[in-house]
Amino acid sequence: MAGNNVTITDNRNGNSAEFEILDPVVGNSSIDVRQLTSKLGLFTYDPGFQATASCKSDITYIDGDEGILRYRGYPIEQLANQSNYLEGSYLLMYGELPTAEQFQAFEASIKNHTIVHEGLMQFINGFHNDAHPMAMMVGVVGALSSFYHDSLDINNPAHRDLSAHRLLAKMPTIAALCYRHGNGLPPIYPRNDLSYIENLLHMMFSFPSEEYKISPIATRAMELVFILHADHEQNASTSTVRLSSSSGANPYACIAAGIASLWGPAHGGANEAVIRMLEEINDPAELPNYIARAKDKDDQYRLMGFGHRIYKNYDPRATIIRKACNDLLDEMEGINQPMFEIAKQLERIALEDEYFIERNLYPNVDFYSGIILKALDMPLNMFTVVFAMARTAGWISQWSEMMVDDEQRIGRPRQLYTGVELRDYVGVGER
């Protein structure tokens, strides 16, 4: 059959039908299987969505074989070196780099929304002091929808924009409040004279009695961590945001769902898991045992911060952040923890090991971001919160895009049913 079509034949009965092949600007084409069920009575089976394009998107492009990541067409390497997180957020949200005036207005709007409703403090104070900050983030970000009723009409573009700005602006404030609550520290309000990242560091580490001295080294490293994590097309948490919002749910609830998905160690929880793994290894002499466990088919153990579903040659974010990580460790005098030495040895051993080479298991972005955050003295249970703050730009951009996509419908996957076909109810006395 000529043209951009594919013919699918059901060899059981000889029925066949044609399906259009949709071509992207760049990357893999997709078979449009929307009529597969009506034409052939079949579903596709794809657990983990390894070969399923769930939407069209203009935002982020990844080529996992070539190690390419671009936001709106701009290579991540250029953005990491020349841009900053807030400018990158504008790019993701609106599709173009801002002019100086546009950036000024955007930054002013974000700063205007950094303070949270004081009533929200009651939610934060309601958590036990040993609550994981990610647990608090899921609850508190979801609770925003009970405070900001003036921006909940998802069919109103002005409401959508206001919600998006509020989410981007309030995430660092909420994150810092969660951290401070867990440590019995008084809340610190945002300061509009500081940049987005400086403000986060200020709200986390200042005291009412003493201002925190914001280090340019820390600010620069955090800018990098944030911009590298800002978006990553249809990953688990972003897909969760899209699936939640496909029912028309409000953006605060949907971003809370994204935070919940991100928390898992196979996704955003990996940066925390990397440090827990390095702490557990503790002694370089133990490394061979851990490598052996990771390779053992009968052991569930995995090396955290290694491997990626999409990147099979290298993770371009890891290449950028690896250098920054090494520079930071060199730059920070006195930072000579044995953990960093274990990390370097682990990286080297894994990169030379057949098991890891065969399976394309390279250190991913979270291997190095975990080490950077540790070097900056970021508390361990805040690592995934940092990822959540950074990914908010991507979540709200993908959500905003979806809201104006005519092809989007409520997300409703089908299944391959493998349970009991039919049976009669049996009373409790007869079971």
Active site residue 267: yes
Among 223, 231, 233, 366, binds ligand CMC (CB under 6 A): 366
Q: Whose CB is nearest to ligand CMC? A: 307
Sites for ligand CMC among residues 57-116 (CB under 6 A): none
Rule CB under 6 A: say whether 272 interacts with ligand CMC: no
Residues 6 or more apart in contact with residue 348 via CB below 8 angstroms? none
Give min distance, CB of 62 to ligand CMC, in A.
10
Tokens 């805040």 found at: 382
Of 232, 366, 377, 424, the active-site residue reads 366
Rule CB under 6 A: say whether 346 interacts with ligand CMC: no
Nearest Cα to Cα of residue 29 among 53, 3, 47: 53
Among 69, 241, 304, 372, binds ligand CMC (CB under 6 A): 304
Which range in 61-69, 114-122, 174-182, 297-305 contacts ligand CMC by CB under 6 A?
A: 297-305
Strand duo 60-63 + 5-10: pairing = unpaired
Rule CB under 6 A: say whether 363 interacts with ligand CMC: no
Active site residue 366: yes
In DSSP terms, 21 is beta-bridged to 31
Among 22, 266, 292, 351, binds ligand CMC (CB under 6 A): 266
Rule CB under 6 A: say whether 270 interacts with ligand CMC: yes
What does the alpha-carbon distance between residue 322 and residue 319 come to, in Å, rounded to a whole number? Answer: 5
Give min distance, CB of 122 to ligand CMC, in A.
32
- Contact criterion met (CB below 8 Å) for 94 and 148: no
Rule CB under 6 A: say whether 362 interacts with ligand CMC: no
Give min distance, CB of 10 to ligand CMC, in A.
29
Which range in 65-73, 248-256, 265-273, 335-343 contacts ligand CMC by CB under 6 A?
A: 265-273
Among 134, 141, 168, 361, binds ligand CMC (CB under 6 A): 361
Which range in 65-73, 166-174, 199-207, 358-366 contacts ligand CMC by CB under 6 A?
A: 358-366
Which residues participate in catalysis according to the annotation? Answer: 267, 308, 366
Contact residues toward ligand CMC (CB under 6 A) are: 232, 235, 266-268, 270, 294, 302-309, 359, 361, 364-366
